[in-house]
Structure 1
Amino acid sequence: MTLSKPATSPRQLKPLHRVRILSLALNLPGPAAMMRLKSMGATCTKAEPPAKDGNTSGDPMSAYNPAAYDTMHAGIKVARMDLKTEEGQGALHKELARTDVLITSFRPSALEKLGLGWNVLRKRYPALSMVSIVGAPGERAEEPGHDLTYLAEAGLVPGLDLPTTLFADMSGALMSSEAVLQAVLQHKITGKSSFQEVALSDAAHWLALPRSWGLTQAKGMVGGAHAGYRVYPCKNGRGAVAALEPHFAAALCEAAGVRVGAVSSLLKPATHAAIAAFLAGKTRQQLEKLAAEKDIPLHTLAF
């Protein structure tokens, strides 16, 4: 089933027009947040350390994946600053004097060594707000970690396979852009600046809530127990079926020739087997046509 791209509004909202944001955050969460903030109209500048080992950037992401780095930094001014030098500090504070929100991803102790702790900055720049991206909250902010460790802690790494995307980093980026919006709104309403800490471990635990509620556990309705919400093999690939609501489930069962009554019948092994047998006999093309004709949420995939 081919999904069309969402229609874009002819006039996208720009709530951060004229808001100046400076980021010291490297790798993925900070730059991904800046990408979102830029799309909301903010004027974004990123301070990067000097490049090393022949790289074109001081951000490790430029070496890990240049295409990802380029995508996240499109339309964002990148300034090279060595914050361990007097010259770099001077350039940074020149930017801070005209910045509305600062985003960082240093450990708190590293910020203090650079003279960039919140208590110092708030006195020097009363109008400046700060969003600090850390691995874990509060006293745990000094602990080492990355996306994988935060997902593991939240119970989102059930086997030996790596997660299919960087869930903690990307959800942390969204939470960071949300924190910037909160800071801007509060300043507009009260005239006061603010400090907010965004922990990637908190972002992972937020994503894990449906699992902790049992929804995505093996016996959960969207964890494999419901016959209408599963991934089934077909003749030349797979079918991701999301016929959860009664009318969708009824359409799926009717197409498969399965009689169902109450929701409980969709949890029975016999129902699972019947739908699996039906889908196994169809090609991806046949399933896409069926989904369109019967209004069934279904997306086909290659093996």
Structure 2
Amino acid sequence: MTGPGVLAGLSVVTLAPNLPGPLAAAALRDDGARVVKVEPPGGDPLKALSARWYADLHRVVEVRTLDLKTDAGQSELRALLAGADLLLTSSRPSALARLGLSPAALDADFPHLCRVRIVGDTRDPETPGHDLTYQAAAGLMDPVSPAMPRTLLADVLGGREAYAAALALLLGRERGSAERERVVGLGDAARFASAPLRYGLTAPGGLLSGAQATYRLYRTADGWVAAAPLEAHFVGRWTATLGPDAERTLAGHPTAHWVDVAAREDLPLVAVTETEGPWGD
């Protein structure tokens, strides 16, 4: 972002720890909003899990430590909300109600305030869970030989959904909409991400399941490549380059060779590599 940002002049208060809330708040910050993060005396668990990611997500975010179970903490929070445009939370409804932050209370006390509530699952927002349980329940793991997911898909997608909900509420308010609250479920996000599986694209035998020669992983002489020459013009170029037995041809040379060939022949093929960036803290 080189200018002041489309949300410059707007203020966000977030009570949401862990990952989806900070992801959404960081996106709003990057669009120019002022973000104040309220953390309990024990802090945000994300800081202990990944200090570097926590630091990146909270860059230019004002972090305040408040005990919302005390009158002083409640008073300071209410002062923040009085001047805020958006409240972001990720607690269960019953916990928010105990803090005086139920939808009815917020409507009455802060009618101007937009709210995005992140919950575990909109089907049953009081049931506890985390990314792993939401992915498993949505069918995103092989039930026969499950492996731990390589990303926190429900959390990351849920954070983007919360960001989108915030933008919709703020834009709607500017256009005269009376809507002030949207609820984002992490279980809902996992089910949304499972649509390609439910509709058969990535299910066993599906077009994008690895069963087709034009969308699968191939072993090379020293590793693996991912190839996706789906469209007809790519298929023709793929066959002309690799011949009738692509699997055997690819196995005959190292990955770097095939990456160079793909660049030269304009083919959708890349090396299967480890992620770039820091590991651990």
- Normalising TM by the smaller chain, what interval? over 0.9
- CA apart distance, 1:60: 0.5
- CA apart distance, 1:160: 2.0
1:155 alignment partner in structure 2: 139
2:126 alignment partner in structure 1: 142
Matched ranges for 1:143-292 at <5 A:
143-158=127-142, 159-190=145-176, 192-258=178-244, 274-292=245-263
State the one-letter code of the partner of 1:146.
Answer: H
SS at match of 1:106: coil
- CA apart distance, 1:225: 2.1
Q: Aligned pair in 2 of structure 1 residues 285, 13: CA closer, same or farther (>3 Å)?
A: farther
Asked if the contact 1:127/1:193 (under 8 Å) is kept, the reply is no
Distance 2:82 2:114 in 1: 12
Matched ranges for 1:26-37 at <5 A:
26-37=17-28
Structure 1 unpaired stretches of 5+? 1-9, 52-57, 259-273
Distance 1:174 1:145 in 2: 19
Asked if the contact 1:128/1:193 (under 8 Å) is kept, the reply is no
- CA apart distance, 1:15: 2.3
Say which of 110, 118, 121 aligns to 2:95. Answer: 110
SS at match of 1:198: strand
Say which of 114, 117, 123 aligns to 1:132. Answer: 117
State the one-letter code of the partner of 1:112.
Answer: A
Asked if the contact 1:226/1:244 (under 8 Å) is kept, the reply is no
State the one-letter code of the partner of 1:148.
Answer: L
**What is the alpha-carbon root mean square deviation over aligned residues?**
1.5
- CA apart distance, 1:12: 6.3
Distance 2:30 2:151 in 1: 22
1:90-147 deviations in Å (ceiling 9; x for gaps): 1111100011110100100000111111100111111011110000115x10001111
TM-score (norm 2): 0.93
Residue 61 (structure 2) pairs with residue 61 (structure 1): no
Q: State how many pairs are aligned.
A: 272
Distance 1:92 1:238 in 2: 53
SS at match of 2:125: helix
SS at match of 1:142: coil
Q: Aligned pair in 2 of structure 1 residues 150, 252: CA closer, same or farther (>3 Å)?
A: same
Residue 69 (structure 2) pairs with residue 84 (structure 1): yes
- CA apart distance, 1:209: 0.5
Q: Aligned pair in 2 of structure 1 residues 13, 280: CA closer, same or farther (>3 Å)?
A: farther
TM-score (norm 1): 0.87
1:212-258 deviations in Å (ceiling 9; x for gaps): 11001121111112202111110111111111111112211111112
Percent of aligned positions that are identical: 38
